[in-house]
Amino acid sequence: MDSPYPRYATEGRSSACAAAEAPTPAESRSSRSSCSARQERAKLDHLRRQAEEGQVTLRVAEVLPAEQAEQAHRLLNAGGVRGRLVLEF
């Protein structure tokens, strides 16, 4: 896309990030990434607030130390895990 306003669609919505001047192709990719990261951050903040207020509950299957990440992958690949596996750092 040659526009200085990179656009992308997320779940049926369209967003744009304005650049001060026309970005290079590399800058354009960076702008889209940073715009997307801001949107994802906002969604995660909203979800966090809902969890803190008890509006949603998060199902955690197991909390494992980061050193057991390989075990967490094995459990996920085996299937049947109900909830999220959390790695604690």
**Residue 51 banded pLDDT, cuts 50, 70, 90:** confident
Q: Residue 32's pLDDT is what? A: 55
Q: What is the mean pLDDT of the chain?
A: 76
Tell the residue number behind the tokens 């990440």, with chain if given: 69
Alpha-carbon distance of 13 to 45, in angstroms, equals: 19
b (16+ CB within 10 A) / e for 24-55: eeeebeebbeebeeeeeeeeeeeeeeeeeeee
3-state secondary structure (DSSP) of residue 61:
strand
Residue 61 confidence (pLDDT) above 50: yes
The two tokens of residue 56 are 């949603």
**Residue 25 banded pLDDT, cuts 50, 70, 90:** low
